[in-house]
Amino acid sequence: MSQTVEDQKDAHGGTPSVLFQRYGIEPRSVIDFSVNLSPLELPESILALWNQLPQRIAHYPSTDGAGVKAYYTQRFGLDADCVIAGNGSLELMYFLQRVQRYQHVLVPQPAFHDYQRSACAGGAQVHSCQRPLGQDYDAFLCSAPFREALAKVDAVFLGSPNNPDGATASADCILDLCAQYPNTHFLIDQAFIQFLPIPGRASLLNPQHLRPNLFVFHSLTKYYAIAGLRIGSLIAHPESIRALSQVREPWSVNSVAETIATELATCSTYDTALRAWLATESQHFDAALSKIPGIQLYPSATNFRLLRLNDPSQYDQVLTELLQQGQHVRCCKNFPGLPAGCFRIGFQAHDANQALVAALQKSVS
């Protein structure tokens, strides 16, 4: 293994205990703005299914997660032969890189921690380059520094929409790259794609977008707030899926996840409700956040925002005051490629969001 696989400690949101400990605050219950999950209730039909689920666990699920594949066929018109179902999308990021054994993987920063970690775990040398915050993503992908870095690797890992800032590339731009660099693999994480008001322009979950060198990761975790169920997928060209399926473990997706994924495919009223909530909330939140002096807001069309304190020396004090009021935001100190003073918030219910804005107005000077 050419680089050390990093420790996972503190790598993800959802762990207020880390900040309680760091700032010496007595643990208390919090509203967790550090996670980017939908705040909507699960669809009625899923709750109605709940009582039947215990009967399913006596039996093995399908060997290949057919219930999850059915979600992608119904929702995106993707045939089962271009989907590998997984126990969350992360499992598939690690699986793909273990199998492909890339030598050199490029991860532009800032980026989600597990792109780099999964590449290291697969034995690759990880290369990074800086993506300037606020720069148009397509412009970055066409820029000389990115192209120079790309020419030296056999794979590149990109988030689109990207965590932590929400920057999103167009599908056309990624497909152009696939055509221009046919020997390079493009690993694209689209965990947040369904949150976009018009995903079509950016979405690679489309049968017409399959390419031999394109590997797209998708997750049901965020959009339906089912992190504990672990449902995700790898979408790729049928030839790639055929080869990968030959070394894939059976039963990676459990029968509860399979049943729920199939049912979720039919819940279109959930999408309508989520889009309506996000449109309203984004408008309110963005307007309010952009008026707070001392805070820079990075624009995004997703359900989370990256913010930066103009005076990073206030950082610990602001995060401490928020925590004392039970508001846990994502400390971004451990995101390589971010300037000092950044934190990320995932939208919660309207009242909680309003309360966070009020607390920030008070805390940040």
Ligand X SMILES: Cc1ncc(COP(=O)(O)O)c(C=O)c1O
Site for ligand X in 103-122 (CB under 6 A): 112
> Over the Cα atoms of the chain, what is R_g?
20
Q: How far is the CB of 107 from ligand X (least distance, A)?
A: 12
Which of 3, 6, 11, 12 binds ligand X (CB under 6 A)? It is: 12
Q: How far is the CB of 117 from ligand X (least distance, A)?
A: 12
Is position 165 an interface residue for ligand X (rule: CB under 6 A)?
no
Is position 90 an interface residue for ligand X (rule: CB under 6 A)?
yes
Taking CB under 6 A as the binding criterion, the range among 73-81, 142-150, 219-227, 272-280 that sits at the site for ligand X is 219-227
Taking CB under 6 A as the binding criterion, the range among 68-76, 84-92, 278-286, 317-325 that sits at the site for ligand X is 84-92
SS3 content of the chain, % helix, strand, coil (to 5): 45, 15, 40
Is position 300 an interface residue for ligand X (rule: CB under 6 A)?
no
Residue 29: phi and psi, rounded to 5, are -75, 145
Is position 43 an interface residue for ligand X (rule: CB under 6 A)?
no
Q: How far is the CB of 14 from ligand X (least distance, A)?
A: 8
Which of 227, 267, 292, 357 binds ligand X (CB under 6 A)? It is: 227
CA gap 168, 139 in Å, rounded: 11
Helix H or strand E segment including 66 = helix 66-76
User: What is residue 152's three-state secondary structure?
Assistant: coil
Is position 38 an interface residue for ligand X (rule: CB under 6 A)?
no
Is residue 132 a contact partner of residue 140, using CB atoms and an 8 Å limit? yes
Is position 219 an interface residue for ligand X (rule: CB under 6 A)?
yes
Is position 232 an interface residue for ligand X (rule: CB under 6 A)?
yes
Is position 177 an interface residue for ligand X (rule: CB under 6 A)?
no
Q: Is the CB of 64 or the CB of 189 nearer to ligand X?
A: 189
SS (H, E, C) 136-148: CHHHHHHCHHHHH
Give the angle 304-307-308 at the CA atoms, nearest 5°: 165
Q: How far is the CB of 311 from ligand X (least distance, A)?
A: 28
Q: Is the CB of 188 or the CB of 359 nearer to ligand X?
A: 188
* Cα dist from 338 to 164, 188, 221, whole Å: 9, 20, 25
Binding footprint of ligand X, residue count (CB under 6 A):
13
Is residue 296 a contact partner of residue 70, using CB atoms and an 8 Å limit? no
Is residue 152 a contact partner of residue 146, using CB atoms and an 8 Å limit? no
Is position 64 an interface residue for ligand X (rule: CB under 6 A)?
no
48: which residues sit within 8 A by CB, 6+ positions away?
Answer: none
Which of 88, 108, 110, 346 binds ligand X (CB under 6 A)? It is: 88
Tokens describing residue 211: 């390419």
* Cα dist from 259 to 67, 221, 226, 266, whole Å: 6, 15, 13, 12
Site for ligand X in 238-297 (CB under 6 A): none
133: which residues sit within 8 A by CB, 6+ positions away?
Answer: 110, 165, 298, 306, 338, 339
Is position 159 an interface residue for ligand X (rule: CB under 6 A)?
yes
Taking CB under 6 A as the binding criterion, the range among 63-71, 82-90, 143-151, 250-258 that sits at the site for ligand X is 82-90
Query: Which residues contact ligand X by CB under 6 A?
Result: 12, 88-90, 112, 159, 163, 189, 191, 219, 221, 227, 232
